[in-house]
Structure 1
């Protein structure tokens, strides 16, 4: 009876998905109308003359694409001056602290009651609905879900306003019935990473864990610890284990490791695209691995074509203007009070009926030191192929340019932490290079005859190097990510200095 009730609930969650699938452009238009109606009653809306905006064309003409720095003066009015009705016309109770992958200092992303309920939580229901639509016999909701959240560091900054990691905000406000099915927040949101791992291990080995939620890299650290301490395979510890809802970083470098750690044909992996700014996408089917753009979440989307990246006032196209196979930088307007905000992520649509896409990287996380325009997706896929051919497994990696000097041409320096070293390192480097050429024509051109770009320089790192480096920077666990690509040598030099000081 409980299982039937649970399945009926999951089935009901699919109806809103069907609704926006039937009318994606109309849904987006309603989102924009709703956002503008709220925005008209704010300081920002008054300054930008929202009253005279009648349609999407007016909106794009009136407002430039905005960065965090552009919005910061308005955020300070809320954070410092304690004003309300600045960016949104209902109180901002929370600010999600987001370090991203290319910022050292935290950004403060406003979270309103509307964005919490009608974006983050609503899209969580969509995630469950899409998964259950493909696996109607799912029973993970009858057991416990192991959640590896970020830090609980929730700080009151005056009145009823708090700052904290987005996962902490979500777990603090989640309905009571969902709290009962998840890792206790008193454990999941501990600020001390080592203590969190210990407490999660103690909890998990005695629970009927049927699902995971978290970032693949940090969840892998936890699962390996549990296996090491118990001496038991995960399939024995948790015979009902069924699904891992993951996001934050590409799953490609981790997939083989998970499949070996959990060698069960009944184990599923379902990708999500949830950030501090909003919940944008979720895997559409088991086969495609592409994500469905979620459209009824009080977010209005626009997309900047690659030709406009770096322009002082880039032109963006609405959803109906996107084309498949073209890279775009995503721009969002939300019920959290973000207006034409460029979040820094890049996507590529693979379908417009429905709107399916894949994440290709970040506008600020790429290497273009020599005109090669290397993005994260290129790196992930080339590494995956090289690993398969040489039986290698990768824990983490980061890449930076090696600049020209009087003796050498430029190159890319790859710092890689292997779980299994390649059977032949020279072959690994050769395969990595060849696949980057196949995936990226600009890289291939710059590699021609070694004229401007030499072969990749791969430097293997000792086990736990990335983990210890992140820990030293107080960025272990949660949503913190190792930067994959950087157009300068800041991170690579930091890691090499850390290795040298600990050798």
Structure 2
């Protein structure tokens, strides 16, 4: 018999679904309203005065006055906020800084304001409510839920709380879910990731786990430790576990591995959260793309990735975007980020409503020879090869090999297999074929004998985990880049003798 909580979840889910349908059915008006409100609210800030916000009436005015910036370019303003100054990027002071590890700028301090904080919490909640509304399944609200995340311990800097986003969000778990939520506060505060996962295993084993959530690579580690401890599949340990919520990386390369670890299929919901904002979530089970959050205090612009590094690339609003084009996503938010390049590339799969997939990072690509191979392409090629050969992997990354000992240069795929393909040659040729079909530049370079076909290098079991541990990035929100334009990761794997 369903509990009161499970019964009440359904009308609440219906109410939220109606609210989402209202703004998603009027996307252009919704974004225009967000834009006007952002400009109006920030007109008297230092940034607003410096960029003449008072004279901005439309997107064209905004483009003329506010250039696209990344963190480095916005840093002079952010440093003033970090020093405790008020009304710099947004009115007053932020309530938090989400601290992230930048690849080029060291630690990044991303402001979160009292206006922007609710969207970080509500989007995750709404993703679950949309699932309940679609499937009618609400029984899981009576079980235990785990969110593998960073430590909730926050520090204070000039009156502003500082921590990792997942740790900040941990302070906002709704009261009605607090009794259901694991791990305990004490366990969640453990800094060392491996120690923390061991403690989580101990805490969760006797519980009725119904939702498990986190970045796939780290959930995988949790699942493996559960199996090691019990010698049972995760689905047998937790009979009522039927919903996996994930974000941060493409789930497809992990799907076969996860189904094997769980022992059966479970429903999944993909999220697209970042310290800068909660951008999208999967709103339908049959849709593998995510609903762009147009009503959450964020105004979006999109620049075609292939033109992004030109001097003045065209900045599109959602009314001008096209399905299937790779765009760099630019955001302006009620946390005081203006025409800000978060570094992600997205592709629209639908414009009614607006749904996206994350196609990669503008910095994470290979174009050592002009091929401009992106994350989405290597992931799709890997997925096709895995499905066709029934092999499975733990992790992979791709790097250019510009100076091989002999022969032409090539792309090196460094792969940690769970189940090795029976026919390696067939496996690599399937990846090669898919990549050539997706990327005409790459195909031309192979046909023109500039590159030779890709080569696969096997990584030892737990090689990627040991690499992440060696650079102090095991756990939390950290993940292996799918590809790079240099050999920094590849060389580190060789150096640490993690290659078979």
Q: TM-score with structure 1 length normalisation?
A: 0.95
Work out which of the residue numbers 40, 44, 47 in structure 1 matches 2:47.
44
Does the C-alpha gap of structure 1 residues 330 and 94 become closer, same or farther in structure 2, counting only changes over 3 Å?
Answer: same
Query: 2:10, 2:133 within 8 Å by CA — same for their partners in 1?
Result: no
Distance apart, 1:124 and its partner CA: 1.9
Q: TM-score with structure 2 length normalisation?
A: 0.95
1:15 & 1:423 partners in 2: Cα distance? 50
Query: 1:13, 1:125 within 8 Å by CA — same for their partners in 2?
Result: no
2:467 matched residue in structure 1: 469
> What secondary structure sits across from 1:114 in the alignment?
coil
1:75 matched residue in structure 2: 78
1:111 aligns with 2:130: no
1:480 matched residue in structure 2: 478
1:438 matched residue in structure 2: 437
Query: 1:210, 1:242 within 8 Å by CA — same for their partners in 2?
Result: yes
1:12 matched residue in structure 2: 15
1:498 matched residue in structure 2: 496
After TM superposition, the runs of 4+ consecutive aligned structure 1 residues lying more than 4 A away are 404-407
Query: 1:65, 1:314 within 8 Å by CA — same for their partners in 2?
Result: no
Query: 2:9, 2:138 within 8 Å by CA — same for their partners in 1?
Result: no
Query: 2:124, 2:271 within 8 Å by CA — same for their partners in 1?
Result: no
> What secondary structure sits across from 2:133 in the alignment?
helix
Does the C-alpha gap of structure 1 residues 15 and 190 become closer, same or farther in structure 2, counting only changes over 3 Å?
Answer: farther
1:89 aligns with 2:82: no
> What secondary structure sits across from 1:499 in the alignment?
coil
2:259 & 2:453 partners in 1: Cα distance? 31
User: Structure 1: which 5+ runs fail to align?
Assistant: none
Q: Deviations over 1:185-208 (max 9, x none)?
A: 332342111211111101111111
Distance apart, 1:104 and its partner CA: 7.3
Does the C-alpha gap of structure 1 residues 76 and 496 become closer, same or farther in structure 2, counting only changes over 3 Å?
Answer: same
Distance apart, 1:421 and its partner CA: 1.2
2:162 & 2:311 partners in 1: Cα distance? 32
Mapping of residues 220-299 of structure 1, within 5 Å: 220-265=220-265, 267-299=266-298
Q: Deviations over 1:243-269 (max 9, x none)?
A: 11111000011011112222335x201
Q: Deviations over 1:135-180 (max 9, x none)?
A: 1123221111111002445322232x12211100111233333333
333-342 or 149-158, which deviates more: 149-158
> What secondary structure sits across from 2:95 in the alignment?
strand
1:306 matched residue in structure 2: 305
Distance apart, 1:460 and its partner CA: 0.3
> What secondary structure sits across from 1:167 in the alignment?
helix
Distance apart, 1:288 and its partner CA: 2.4
1:127 aligns with 2:127: yes
Report the count of equivalent residues: 496
2:322 matched residue in structure 1: 323
1:415 matched residue in structure 2: 414
1:270 & 1:170 partners in 2: Cα distance? 18
1:174 aligns with 2:140: no
2:28 matched residue in structure 1: 25
Query: 2:328, 2:344 within 8 Å by CA — same for their partners in 1?
Result: yes
Distance apart, 1:406 and its partner CA: 8.8
1:396 & 1:264 partners in 2: Cα distance? 21
Q: Deviations over 1:431-489 (max 9, x none)?
A: 1111111222221111115x111111211011111101101111001110111110011
Distance apart, 1:52 and its partner CA: 1.1
> What secondary structure sits across from 1:92 in the alignment?
coil
2:245 & 2:278 partners in 1: Cα distance? 13
Does the C-alpha gap of structure 1 residues 189 and 167 become closer, same or farther in structure 2, counting only changes over 3 Å?
Answer: farther
